[in-house]
């Protein structure tokens, strides 16, 4: 079955919480709408930046239904559905596809460490068999600094060979451009869709054959990133990418999710945006000031 | 409220699966009964060895209900209830206490890495507040080789000070005797219940003031471990502990969970016991032979 897959600037959107730490669906959807209006081509709902693993399966399905019935076009949503347990991943994946999401972003199961490539292959293979839906499109989620379980080149090779047209892309959050370059070089020529997980690599990725980026920082600077995407074949993209780098370098010194939420809280004059679920904590007052000062400085 | 807490030999019991990778409740409960008859003082249901994080919340609650209504005394079960998401941990904890389990074994949330002590404290504090049940007793689960998120001494100190009588013990699966020794030295004098996660440290832990051990290997050698527990104050415990070490050293060369399941499959002449959920894989035929040979050799 043919599907239309997103390219360009994807934001793994942050999740708003109420004071009682419940998902604030209304504020989160308003943020989704703002992101799409500001220039995001699509969103990842339930990525690392969304605190997805701090949410239960029920919270995730309910919120996704709310978003779709409140004006968010499901064709603009990749849904993060990879959990430690196969039944959870299957349930979330079926649900997202059923709602019309064009694809899912799948973490490998991340509790056990040093698992074999064979074990990871069986995990994905069993999932594909159980979901059993010709609309299924999987983007692998390689984020070893956090998951501690990597998606190796051999695993990509085996999955794309066994499940062509199903395992169709990757978010590479290794943070290592050389790794992303190699993934693109090896797999993009056959249509594999590579998105670096960092906007720091947006322009080089596009020029090497990547499809865009899925970056946490797209929560606050989608317009600038979209300009890079629009101009990547032209020389002026370089100075825009330099501006991206300046912002990225400044903000990377802080815990990413609380820093992004602090910025949104400031911009919207809505301190509730600072709320995160434990084990994350909001920025201290000192760090809060620092982040806002740094951000202002990079925009002068 | 007073509760009776287990001491001695606790097995984090393995979970049997059907060919279709569903929990085989009947065979798992039969294993629980065998373990209790062979000398386990209590069991941990849903530990690392149980492949707990490969199970959904619903599978966990259903199986626990099945076990209790099929003859397993809930007072002999500590239930593993720590998940990445607070709502899941709260739901599982309430459920286990409601069924009569004397305590829960709680992993810290393990998706995000390098989280702050403050964030972990808030996680546990929020959980305690939400469970809001005076029967709640928490054993912290320190297993940094797998969770990659440690329970620091400062966190134990803060939790036991703020929640005395609620945070009452720890399973220390650091695998590092010096660490376990320090936990016992610092916290056991005020009644904190320390269980090393390795039978290799059973005797030294008992002699230092620990309460027993919660060891994967108790799935296959509970009788021997129980003898150490019964005799720890006498000199003959030492040669028994040496036998424990010999077995432990031999089996540690193999992936623990598949190796234990291979041994149970052999003893029970039931190859179905070898089934594990991905991302784990059963032992290869070669390793299978090797494990059985090694085990036989240590028992001669």
ipTM (interface pTM): 0.97
Report pLDDT digits (tens) over B60-97.
999 999 999 999 999 999 999 999 999 999 999 999 99
Nearest by CB to residue A87, choosing from B56, B86, B109, is: B56
The distance of A180 to chain B (nearest Cα, Å) reads: 22
Interface contact A110-B111, CB threshold 8 A:
yes
pLDDT tens figures, B248-272: 998 889 999 999 999 999 999 999 9
CA atoms within 13 A on the CB side of A140: 32
Contacts (Cβ under 8 Å, ≥6 apart) of A156: A140, A167, A170, A183, A186, A187, A192
Question: Phi first, then psi: what are they for A72, rounded to 5°?
Answer: -90, 125
pLDDT of B101 reads 98
Calculate mean pLDDT across residues B289-299.
Answer: 90
d(CA B239, CA B245): 10
- Residue B119: is its pLDDT beyond 90? yes
pLDDT of res. A149 = 98
State in words which class domain B8-231 has.
alpha beta
- Please state the rounded mean pLDDT for residues A100-123: 98
Confidence of residue B3 (pLDDT cuts 50, 70, 90): confident
Question: What is the third-level CATH fold of A8-232?
Answer: TIM Barrel (3.20.20)
If you average pLDDT over residues A126-153, what whole number do you get? 98
Tell me how crowded residue A266 is: count the other CB atoms within 10 A of its CB: 17
Cβ within 8 Å, pair B56-A88: yes
**Contact call for residues B112 and A146 (beta carbons, < 8 A):** yes
Residue-wise DSSP of A15-35: --B-TTS-B-HHHHHHHHHHH
A139 to chain B, closest Cα gap in Å: 18
- Per-residue pLDDT tens digits for B167-204: 999 999 999 999 999 999 999 999 999 999 999 999 99
What pLDDT was estimated at residue B141? Answer: 98
Is the confidence at residue A1, as pLDDT, over 90? no
Residues from chain A contacting residue B115 (CB–CB below 8 Å): 279-280
**E strand or H helix that includes residue B229:** helix B222-231
Do the chains contact at B56 and A54, CB–CB below 8 Å? Answer: no
Q: Look-up: residue for tokens 């000031």?
A: A289
Q: What pLDDT band is residue B299 in, cutting at 50, 70 and 90?
A: confident
| C-alpha span between B279 and B281 (Å, rounded) | 7
pLDDT in tens, A54-76: 999 999 999 999 999 999 999 99
Q: What is the pLDDT of residue A102?
A: 98
**A173 contacts in chain B (CB < 8 Å):** none
Residue B145 to residue A98: CA distance in whole angstroms: 38
Of B110, B119, B279, the CB nearest to A281: B119
| A23 pLDDT above the threshold of 90 | yes
Nearest residue on chain A to B54, alpha-carbon basis: A85
Locus of tokens 């897959």: A5
Set of chain B residues whose Cβ sits within 8 Å of the Cβ of A111: 48, 53-54, 110, 146-147
* Segments making up each domain of chain B, as ranges: 8-231
Question: Which run of H or of E encompasses B48?
Answer: none
pLDDT of residue B202: 98
Chain A residues within 8 Å of chain B (Cβ atoms): 21, 48, 53-59, 84-88, 91, 108-113, 115-116, 118-120, 122-123, 126, 145-149, 277-281
Q: What is the pLDDT of residues B130-176, one digit of tens each?
A: 999 999 999 999 999 999 999 999 999 999 999 999 999 999 999 99
* Residue with tokens 């599978």, as numbered in its chain: B59
> pLDDT over 70 for what percent of chain A?
100
The predicted model scores a pTM of 0.97
Q: Tell me which chain A residues have a C-beta less than 8 angstroms from the C-beta of B281.
A: 116, 118-119, 122
Strands across the sheet containing B42-45: B193-196, B167-172, B138-142, B103-106, B77-80, B42-45, B8-12, B212-214
Determine the average pLDDT of the residues in B123-136. Answer: 98
> What percent of chain B lies above the pLDDT cut of 70?
100
pLDDT digit string, tens, across residues B23-59? 999 999 999 999 999 999 999 999 999 999 999 999 9
Give the confidence band of A82 by pLDDT, cuts at 50, 70, 90. very high
Q: Which residue has the tokens 């939400």?
A: B130
pLDDT at residue number B300 = 63
Size of interface A-B (CB pairs under 8 A): 116
Residue A300 pLDDT grade (very low, low, confident, very high; cuts 50, 70, 90): low
CA distance B72 to chain A (A): 25
């Amino acid at each position: 079955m043919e599907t239309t897959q997103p390219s360009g600037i994807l934001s793994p959107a942050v999740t708003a919480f109420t004071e009682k730490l419940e998902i604030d669906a209304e504020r989160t959807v308003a943020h989704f709408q703002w992101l799409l209006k500001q220039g995001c081509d699509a969103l990842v709902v339930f990525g690392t930046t969304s605190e997805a693993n701090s949410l239960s399966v029920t919270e995730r399905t309910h919120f996704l239904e709310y978003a779709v019935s409140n004006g968010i076009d499901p064709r603009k949503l990749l849904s993060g559905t990879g959990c430690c347990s196969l039944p959870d991943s299957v349930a979330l994946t079926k649900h997202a596809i059923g709602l019309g999401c064009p694809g899912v972003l799948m973490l490998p199961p991340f509790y056990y460490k040093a698992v074999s490539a064979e074990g990871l292959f069986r995990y994905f293979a069993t999932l594909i068999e159980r979901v059993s839906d010709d609309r299924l499109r999987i983007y692998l989620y390689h984020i070893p600094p956090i998951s501690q379980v990597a998606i190796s080149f051999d695993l990509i090779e085996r999955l794309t060979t066994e499940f062509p047209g199903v395992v169709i892309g990757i978010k590479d959050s290794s943070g290592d451009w050389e790794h992303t370059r190699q993934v693109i070089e090896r797999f993009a020529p056959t249509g594999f869709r590579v998105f670096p997980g960092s906007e720091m690599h947006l322009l080089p990725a596009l020029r090497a054959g990547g499809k865009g980026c899925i970056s946490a920082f797209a929560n606050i600077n989608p317009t600038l990133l979209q300009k890079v995407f629009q101009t990547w074949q032209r020389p002026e993209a370089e100075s825009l990418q330099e501006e991206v780098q300046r912002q990225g370098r400044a903000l990377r010194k802080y815990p990413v999710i609380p820093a992004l939420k602090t910025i949104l809280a400031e911009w919207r004059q809505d301190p509730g945006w600072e709320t995160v679920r434990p084990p994350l904590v909001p920025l201290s007052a000192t760090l809060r000031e620092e982040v806002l000062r740094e951000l202002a400085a990079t925009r002068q």
